[in-house]
Structures are given as structure tokens and as C-alpha cells.
């Protein structure tokens, strides 16, 4: 029994155990400070579903050797283009959501290709450059949103009559189109967004499957040791570009899932800070800059979003003052800082001579 | 000049983690004499000099046993600073200069001439002004002592290599108390005429009463300037003689000669060599591999032979396989079975039926973070599309993990790779077992022609023999032609059918393994 517990601790890693226990404590404390436990659990699951694919968008680039995808805003921009286009076309319901995805993917591929070519020229500094790619693409798009020829009165500024608004509601179009698919409602307070979780599972499955193909294997090898991959006849640069394209496309799909649950498309500076919670999520899940698995995504997203949802509401009710936003910022940035400084521990070698 | 003894090293022993690199070395050096230190790579020359110079690497690895006496005083240098204070200077093989500084600034570094100013009174010595003019003048004097035409105000980054070398020497002799100067391969990067100047400089320093320890692979230079000569082999001092009483042939024999097994040990069970069939034809090959450049390589490799390529480290032997396999920029013509090989394209080389076991196991040879089965199967999977399941008419190529595990298990059994399972990570294996994984990776491709680079570097004796036996066996049983590069001549002679020696970036000659040692030595040292 002790052996099993030890193995579990080693497999899970102390950081995840501690954060997991902390989350558990928050759930236990919640009813005593008059936080509805069912609402809380629902909130955690919804946020988990909203962020899941955005965190998953880290995996291909990490595996392909390009580091963490700090350029996630680029993928998000592709997603935003898909979203506003589908609203412009007045598409609604699940079809509207899917067409937004369909429109976003080609944008994601195009931007991903450029982004990949750029990252191939700055080997060794990918993450720094990616960060600036993300920031500068947001800045460039801030100008573009004003000038793009969208005409739908649901999206443009009421005065002036041109340029997209900062926040666009999707309530009339595909609000909760995934969340409400096969949704499960128990009592007044608990609901489970089945469609969104299923969609996330499908994306995980696709990524998992990709890494079991010949190309996926080559990508993993190229990320693990580019020299080895090259000596084995693999075109390392091509693998890196594919990984960047995949990450960008996943970012595009991820933001549309996020928006259908959130209810709004946030343009302009909306994507600016989106990369950090996703990066923190995957690191918290136990990934390193060189290795990431689907399990890291699922565990990390759940823990990060769980803490982020629970801490403000519980602490708020304890101290009886509305500090939720302050606490949220402290907790989320604290976790990001922790995750980024986390050292990668190498498991001791167990060689039987 | 008094014939007094300046330096005495007595019974020096040193091991690195149980690996004995120096055993009972005794050394004496008279004032104003030049001592030549020769030996193969790994004979212990650098370690001996590091001990003398008090390098921290020695202390960090557990110190050494023995006694050093300088000028009649027992010394125990804790760090290079102590050595410098005691009058020992060292010019390293790699330049230790600041590129953006002038020669004068480099020469006077940390010994700057300063004058007091107002700020010193306020903040202390560190804010003294530099007396740049005097520094330049003094550096110029040191440079003139060396006897070269070099302005002390020249930036190091703008100097030719020879001048950098001279700047380093000027720095050492500018210290007023320098009694002993260690020169580690000072001529390796110089052209012949520059080397000539260098040698005359060294001679002049000796005449000024400074003793010099001169390390070089070029026996001609040693013969020319050294008074005495010391030969190290396998960490032991094999010979200490006045240069006048010997000749290069004798020296090279001392250097490479082993006490045991001096003849080729290998016998083929059946003659697999086809004299008439040329497998690989190489013409005018050049390879731009950093530290291992080669040019004008012409080779004809016969089917079924084991062809050895030897030579000292850095002379270019490793460039040949790396260039042919497309890993470093190369040019010239390479033909496999009469078919031209596209250079600079690893995939093409692999597809043509060649495989390569790299000398750089950790950087190129292995996926350290991945399990053994991936390591073994990856190359064959990527190049020959084996161990894949196809779905949707070949659109999806799914990795067949079961087949991969089976393949890995076969090689684990065959090569006796010690591991917990085929899923164990490569980084957790010992050096010898890692090397076996590298070999398995190459064998799995089922190559016609196999390049093996430094197959026994960094692995223990038992594993060495097993690796060599395995290569021999594959050559014998399956008729795979093998080209093996190694710094260990003995090993090459024991396994190869022919041995080429690469020296200074060119093939110096090809010998049968039965040729006398001194012939190999002569080719290696271009004497």
C-alpha cells in the first residue's frame, strides 16, 4: 500500500499534489462560508472546458521543439476572424459555431506557416520571439479591426457606422451552442456542459492520434533531439513548421469554443494576455519546455482553472469584502510565476545491472 | 647559464573517478631548457600540465598524489593564481584573450599600471586611473622581446591567429617573475612560416633563462628546439631523453607502441572481401566539419572489408563519415555501387543504403529523453516506412508500438543491452549500453555500408570488446562493409583489413594492419 502511494506521488509530482489538496480544501471550505458547492463545481467544469483547447494548443509546439506557444494570440486572432465572419454571415446555432471554426482554420494555417518560418530563423530564442509575435500581432490587428469591411449592425460601432466594436455579443448567434448540447442539469445549481467537454475530448483525441503517426513521431524526435532527427533523415524545419501550424490552428479553434461559452467575442486587446493562463496551465500540469502530454493539459487546466474559480469566491466570503478581482489577479499571476520558475526534476535512473 | 634544476615533479598520480590517467610520472627540467612533451591523445599530457598549473579542474576531481618542487621549494598550487605568483605561466591551446581589447590591455589585464586620483580617496583603489601610455609602452616592450612586428594598440579581434598567440606569450613574459612557461600546442593553429617565428621566439625565451615545456604533435618542431623530450603513453612516462640522442621514428614508436598485443589479432572466419567490387568510391571529397576539416579525400572501399580510418583528434578523420552521410557541408564526388550520392542530404545517404553510428553519442546518436525502442526503430521507421500500420489507403501511417517493442527486444537480446525493459529511457543507460543502442539503430536499417565513428569512446573495457566483436560479426555474417573511425590505433589494427591515417586534413597514407607501428606513427605525425 505504501509502495502504491509512493508510486502515485512520484507519478503525479509534488506540485500537483499540493495544489490538488489545496483545491480540495477550498471545495470543503466552500459550504461553510455560504458558497454554493454545486455552482462552484459547475463553474470549474465550464472554465475547464473553455480553456482546455487553448492549453492543448501548447502541446504541438512543445513537442516539436519550439517551446511554449507564447504566440497563442496569433492563433486566437485567426479564431476571431472566423467568429466575426460567421456573425457577419448571420449563421446561428451549432452550424454557426462549426462554420466559424471552418473559416478560422485556413487563417490559422496561413498565419501558422508565417509564424513557423519566423521561428525557424530564431532557433534557441523561440519563446521570446513568440511572445513578441503574439503582442505585435494583437497590435496590428487592433488597427485592422477598425478597417475590415464588416457590415453587420450587430458588430460595428453604432455611431460612425464602421469598424468593429471591442465586445461583440454572440447571444443571437451561437451562444452556448456547444454547452447546451446534451447538457445535463441537476437541481437548480448544477449543470454539466456535455457538448463542450465532448468537443474538448475530441480535440485531445485528434492530437493524441497525431502523435501516434509517423509524422507525429518524427515531430517528437525533432523536438527531443534535432540532431538525431536530422541524422535519421527527418526534415527538422518542416516538422517545426507543422508543429507551429497545429498549435496556431488549435488556438483558433480554442478561442471559438471559449467565446460560445463566454457569450462575447473580445476584439482589440482581448487576446493580449491569453497566452499566460494557457502556458501556466500546461506547466502546472507537469509539462516542461521540451515535453508535454495530453495528461498534462487535462490535469493542469483543471487545477489552474479550479484554483482560479474557487479562491476568489471562498476568500471573498471569508473576509466579507469584494476583493474577488484583486485576489484573482494575485492568484493567477502567482501561479503563472510559480509555473514558469518550476525546475524540471529528472527522475533518478533505475538501472538493474 | 647555470645548469640547475628548476622543476621537479615526483611520482605524480591522478585518477578521474577511478579511471587512472597518470601513474608515477617523474619529471625534471633545468633552468633555461626546453622540454618537449609528446604523447597520443589521452596519454595524459594535458592532465599533467593542469596539475602543474594548479587548474581548478584537478582539485574538483579529487586532487592528485605526488610532489611538485619549483626552484627548490615544494609547491601545492590551489589555483592558477598561485601558479602565476610562483612564476609559472601557461599559454592554452584555446586563446584566452578578450577580443574587444587592445593587445596592451590584454597583456596588462589585472596588472594595470594605475595612478591615484581624487576618486580613490573617496571610493578606494578600484577607481584609480589607468596609465594607458605606460601600459602600452610596457606591452610594446614585451612584444618586442617576443620579437614580432605587432603594435600594442591593435585590437585582438583584428589580429591574425599568430599574433593572438604572440600576445598570449607576451602576456606571460611580462610578468617579471616568470620562470616557467607551458605552451600547449602553440603551433597547431599557425602556418609554417608563423610556426618558424614561434619556434625562434621560444628559443630566445629559453636563452633568457626561462624554462619552457613545449607540447606539440609535430615531432619535427620538437626535434628542432627541445633540449630534452618526454614521452607519455597511457598515463605513464615511457621515455625521458635528450633530443640529440633520438630520432622521430623512435619517438613515434614510443608513443604508439603498446606493451600488449602489438600485432593484429583478428582473423576472418571466411574471406568475405571481394577484391574486384568497389562499394564506395570517393573522389576529391572535402568536408567542412568544425575541428575536423578534410580535403582531397580519395578512397576506394572494397565490398565486405572493414576499413579503418585513424589519426589524432582534430586532424580530420571524423569529417569523412560525417561528410558522406550529409551531416556537415561537403563537396566532391561519392559513389555507392556506381551510383552518385547526393551530399549534404542525410535522407539521401540513408535511402542509398548507408548507415552511420555517430561519434557524438549524446548529441547526435540518441534520443536521450525517449525509450530504447524509439531510439532503435526511429531511423528505419522514418526512412523505410517499416513498423507502421496503414489506414485509409496509406493516408494515415500509424506507429506500430508492438512491432517496435519486438524489434527493440530482439536487439536487446542480441547485443546484451542491459536495461529494465525496452521502454527504459536512453539517458538512464550506461555509456556502453548506449553505444549498443546506437549500433542497433544502425543495424535495424540493414545497411550495405556502415560508418562507425569512435565506437569505443568513453565505454569500459568489457563493453569495448563486445562492440568490436559485434561489428566483426556483422561484417563476417552479413557481409556488411564497415568503415570505422577511431583515435585508438590498436583497436583499428585489431579489427580492420586496411587502415588509412588522416593527418592535417588529408589522407596521409593507407597501410595494412600488419605494418610496423612506427610506420603508422610516422604518418600520424607527418615527420
Q: How confident is the model at residue B267 (pLDDT cuts 50, 70, 90)?
A: low
> Exposed/middle/buried for B260, CB within 10 Å: 0-12, 13-18, 19+?
exposed
Share of chain B above pLDDT 90, in %: 20
pLDDT at A244: 96
- How far apart are the C-alpha atoms of B311 and B313, rounded to whole Å? 7
Lowest-confidence pick of A140-149, B79-88, B435-444: B79-88
Average pLDDT over residues A327-340: 77
Q: Decide yes or no: CATH 3.30.70 for domain A34-341.
A: no
Whether residues A349 and B427 touch (CB distance < 8 A) is answered with yes
**A139-155 pLDDT, tens per residue?**
999 999 988 888 888 88
Residues pairing with B144 in the sheet: none
Topology at the third CATH level for domain B275-525: Rossmann fold (3.40.50)
Say whether residue B325 is in contact with chain A using an 8 A CB cutoff.
Answer: yes
- How far apart are the C-alpha atoms of B373 and B437, rounded to whole Å? 9
- Which among A221, A231, A351 is the nearest to B429, CB-wise? A351
Q: Name which of A55, A94, A47 is nearest A76 in CA terms.
A: A55
Q: How confident is the model at residue A135 (pLDDT cuts 50, 70, 90)?
A: very high
**Residues sharing a CB contact under 8 Å with residue B259, sequence separation 6 or more, in sequence order:** none
Class of the domain covering B1-87+177-258: alpha beta
Say whether residue B379 is in contact with chain A using an 8 A CB cutoff.
Answer: yes
Which cell is B305 given? 572489408
pLDDT at B187: 77
Q: How confident is the model at residue B348 (pLDDT cuts 50, 70, 90)?
A: very high
User: For chain B, which residues make up each domain, given as ranges?
Assistant: 1-87+177-258, 96-176, 275-525
Residues pairing with B397 in the sheet: B390
Q: How confident is the model at residue B111 (pLDDT cuts 50, 70, 90)?
A: confident
Average pLDDT over residues B54-83: 83
R_g (Cα) of chain A, nearest Å: 21
Lowest-confidence pick of A243-252, A329-338, B375-384, B479-488: A329-338
Average pLDDT over residues B459-471: 77
**A218-237 pLDDT, tens per residue?**
999 999 999 999 999 999 99
Testing the interface with A: which of B323, B325, B378, B424 to mutate, by most A Cβ within 10 A? B378
Average pLDDT over residues B28-36: 89
**B275-291 pLDDT, tens per residue?**
778 889 999 999 998 88
Nearest chain B Cα distance for residue A126, angstroms: 20
Residue A105 has pLDDT above 50, yes or no: yes
Q: Name which of A76, A116, A34 is nearest A262 in CA terms.
A: A76
The secondary structure of A137-159 as a DSSP string is: HHHHHHHHHHHS----TTTB-TT
Average pLDDT over residues A110-115: 96
Residue A334 has pLDDT above 60, yes or no: yes
Residue B87 has pLDDT above 80, yes or no: yes
**B153-206 pLDDT, tens per residue?**
888 888 877 788 888 888 888 877 788 889 888 877 777 777 888 888 888 888
User: For chain A, which residues make up each domain, given as ranges?
Assistant: 34-341
pLDDT at B461: 64
Q: How confident is the model at residue A190 (pLDDT cuts 50, 70, 90)?
A: confident
CB B61 within 8 A of CB B36: no
Residue A352 has pLDDT above 60, yes or no: no
The beta-carbon contacts of A11-19 under 8 Å, at least 24 apart in sequence, are: A12/A286, A13/A286, A13/A345, A15/A284, A15/A286, A15/A338, A15/A342, A16/A284, A16/A285, A16/A286, A16/A299, A16/A303, A19/A284, A19/A303, A19/A307
pLDDT at A353: 32
- Which among A227, A228, A232 is the nearest to B383, CB-wise? A232
pLDDT at B262: 38
Helix H or strand E segment including B253: helix B248-256
With contacts defined as CB-CB under 8 Å, which chain A residues touch B392? none
- How far apart are the C-alpha atoms of A172 and B292, rounded to whole Å? 69
Average pLDDT over residues B46-73: 84
- How far apart are the C-alpha atoms of A311 and A327, rounded to whole Å? 8
Whether residues B397 and A230 touch (CB distance < 8 A) is answered with no
Amino acid at each position: 500500500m505504501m509502495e502504491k502511494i509512493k508510486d502515485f506521488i512520484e507519478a503525479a509530482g509534488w506540485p500537483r499534489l499540493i495544489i490538488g489538496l489545496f483545491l480540495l480544501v477550498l471545495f470543503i471550505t466552500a459550504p461553510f462560508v455560504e458558497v454554493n458547492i454545486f455552482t462552484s463545481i459547475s463553474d470549474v467544469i465550464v472554465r475547464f472546458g473553455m480553456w482546455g483547447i487553448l492549453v492543448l494548443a501548447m502541446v504541438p509546439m512543445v513537442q516539436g521543439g519550439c517551446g511554449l506557444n507564447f504566440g497563442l494570440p496569433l492563433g486566437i486572432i485567426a479564431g476571431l476572424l472566423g467568429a466575426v465572419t460567421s456573425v457577419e454571415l448571420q449563421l446561428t446555432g451549432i452550424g454557426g459555431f462549426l462554420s466559424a471554426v471552418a473559416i478560422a482554420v485556413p487563417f490559422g494555417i496561413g498565419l501558422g506557416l508565417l509564424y513557423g518560418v519566423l521561428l525557424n530563423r530564431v532557433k534557441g530564442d523561440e519563446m521570446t520571439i513568440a511572445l513578441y509575435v503574439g503582442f505585435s500581432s494583437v497590435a496590428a490587428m487592433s488597427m485592422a479591426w477598425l478597417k475590415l469591411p464588416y457590415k453587420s449592425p450587430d458588430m460595428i460601432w453604432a455611431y460612425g457606422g464602421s469598424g468593429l466594436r471591442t465586445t461583440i455579443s454572440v447571444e443571437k448567434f451561437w451562444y452556448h451552442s456547444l454547452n447546451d448540447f446534451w447538457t445535463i442539469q441537476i437541481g437548480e445549481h448544477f449543470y454539466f456542459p456535455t457538448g463542450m467537454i465532448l468537443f474538448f475530448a475530441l480535440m485531445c483525441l485528434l492530437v493524441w492520434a497525431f502523435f501516434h503517426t509517423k509524422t507525429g513521431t518524427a515531430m517528437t524526435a525533432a523536438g527531443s533531439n534535432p540532431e538525431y532527427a536530422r541524422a535519421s533523415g527527418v526534415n527538422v524545419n518542416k516538422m517545426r513548421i507543422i508543429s507551429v501550424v497545429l498549435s496556431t490552428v488549435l488556438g483558433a479553434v480554442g478561442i471559438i469554443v471559449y467565446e460560445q461559452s463566454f457569450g462575447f467575442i473580445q476584439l482589440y486587446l482581448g487576446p493580449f494576455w491569453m497566452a499566460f493562463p494557457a502556458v501556466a496551465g500546461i506547466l502546472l500540469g507537469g509539462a516542461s519546455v521540451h515535453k508535454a502530454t495530453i495528461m498534462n493539459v487535462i490535469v493542469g487546466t483543471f487545477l489552474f482553472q479550479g484554483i482560479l474559480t474557487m479562491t476568489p469566491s471562498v476568500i471573498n466570503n471569508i473576509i466579507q469584502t469584494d476583493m474577488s478581482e484583486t485576489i484573482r489577479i494575485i492568484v493567477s499571476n502567482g501561479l503563472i510565476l510559480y509555473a514558469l520558475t518550476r525546475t524540471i526534476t529528472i527522475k533518478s535512473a533505475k538501472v538493474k545491472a | 647559464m647555470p645548469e640547475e634544476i628548476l622543476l621537479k615533479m615526483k611520482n605524480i598520480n591522478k585518477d578521474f573517478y577511478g579511471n587512472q590517467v597518470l601513474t608515477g610520472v617523474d619529471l625534471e627540467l633545468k633552468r633555461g631548457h626546453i622540454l618537449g612533451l609528446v604523447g597520443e591523445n589521452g596519454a595524459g599530457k594535458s592532465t599533467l600540465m593542469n596539475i602543474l598549473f594548479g587548474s581548478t579542474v584537478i582539485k574538483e576531481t579529487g586532487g592528485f598524489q605526488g610532489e611538485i618542487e619549483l626552484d627548490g621549494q615544494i609547491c601545492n598550487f590551489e589555483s592558477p593564481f598561485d601558479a602565476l605568483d610562483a612564476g609559472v605561466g601557461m599559454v592554452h591551446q584555446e586563446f584566452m584573450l578578450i577580443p574587444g581589447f587592445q593587445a596592451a590591455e590584454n597583456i596588462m589585464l589585472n596588472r594595470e599600471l594605475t595612478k591615484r586620483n581624487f576618486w580613490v580617496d573617496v571610493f578606494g583603489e578600484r577607481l584609480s586611473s589607468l596609465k594607458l601610455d605606460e601600459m602600452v609602452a610596457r606591452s610594446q616592450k614585451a612584444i618586442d622581446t617576443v620579437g614580432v612586428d605587432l603594435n600594442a594598440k591593435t585590437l585582438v579581434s583584428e589580429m591574425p591567429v599568430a599574433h593572438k598567440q604572440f600576445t598570449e606569450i607576451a602576456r606571460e613574459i611580462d610578468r617579471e617573475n616568470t620562470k616557467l612557461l607551458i605552451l600547449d600546442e602553440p603551433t597547431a593553429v599557425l602556418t609554417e612560416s608563423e610556426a618558424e617565428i614561434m619556434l625562434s621566439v621560444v628559443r630566445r625565451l629559453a636563452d633568457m633563462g626561462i624554462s619552457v615545456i613545449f607540447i606539440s604533435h609535430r615531432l619535427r618542431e620538437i626535434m628542432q628546439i627541445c633540449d630534452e623530450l618526454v614521452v607519455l603513453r597511457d598515463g605513464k612516462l615511457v621515455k625521458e631523453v635528450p633530443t640529440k640522442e633520438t630520432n622521430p621514428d623512435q619517438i613515434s614508436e614510443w608513443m604508439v607502441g603498446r606493451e600488449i598485443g602489438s600485432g593484429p589479432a583478428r582473423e576472418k572466419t571466411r574471406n568475405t572481401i571481394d577484391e574486384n567490387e568497389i562499394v564506395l568510391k570517393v573522389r576529391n571529397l572535402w568536408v567542412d566539419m568544425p575541428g575536423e576539416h578534410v580535403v582531397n579525400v580519395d578512397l576506394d572501399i572494397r565490398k565486405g572489408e572493414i576499413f579503418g580510418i585513424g589519426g589524432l583528434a582534430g586532424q580530420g578523420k571524423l569529417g569523412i563519415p560525417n561528410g558522406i552521410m550529409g551531416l556537415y557541408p561537403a563537396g566532391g564526388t561519392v559513389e555507392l555501387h556506381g551510383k552518385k550520392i547526393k551530399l549534404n542530404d542525410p535522407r539521401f545517404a540513408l535511402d542509398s543504403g548507408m548507415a552511420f553510428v555517430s561519434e557524438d553519442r549524446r548529441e547526435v546518436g540518441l534520443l536521450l529523453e525517449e525509450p530504447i525502442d524509439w531510439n532503435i526503430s526511429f531511423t528505419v521507421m522514418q526512412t523505410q516506412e517499416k513498423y507502421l500500420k496503414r489506414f485509409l489507403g496509406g493516408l494515415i501511417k500509424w506507429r506500430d508500438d508492438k512491432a517496435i517493442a519486438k524489434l527493440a527486444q530482439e536487439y536487446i537480446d542480441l547485443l546484451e543491452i542491459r536495461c529494465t525493459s525496452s521502454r527504459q529511457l536512453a539517458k538512464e543507460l550506461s555509456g556502453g549500453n548506449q553505444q549498443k543502442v546506437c549500433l542497433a539503430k544502425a543495424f535495424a536499417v540493414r545497411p550495405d555500408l556502415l560508418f562507425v565513428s569512435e565506437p569505443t569512446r568513453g565505454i569500459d573495457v568489457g563493453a569495448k570488446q563486445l562492440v568490436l566483436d559485434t561489428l566483426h560479426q556483422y561484417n563476417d555474417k552479413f557481409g556488411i562493409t564497415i568503415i570505422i573511425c577511431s583515435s585508438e590505433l590498436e583497436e583499428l589494427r585489431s579489427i580492420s583489413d586496411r587502415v588509412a591515417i588522416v593527418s592535417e586534413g588529408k589522407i596521409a597514407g593507407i597501410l595494412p594492419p600488419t605494418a610496423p607501428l612506427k610506420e603508422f606513427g610516422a604518418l600520424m605525425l607527418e615527420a
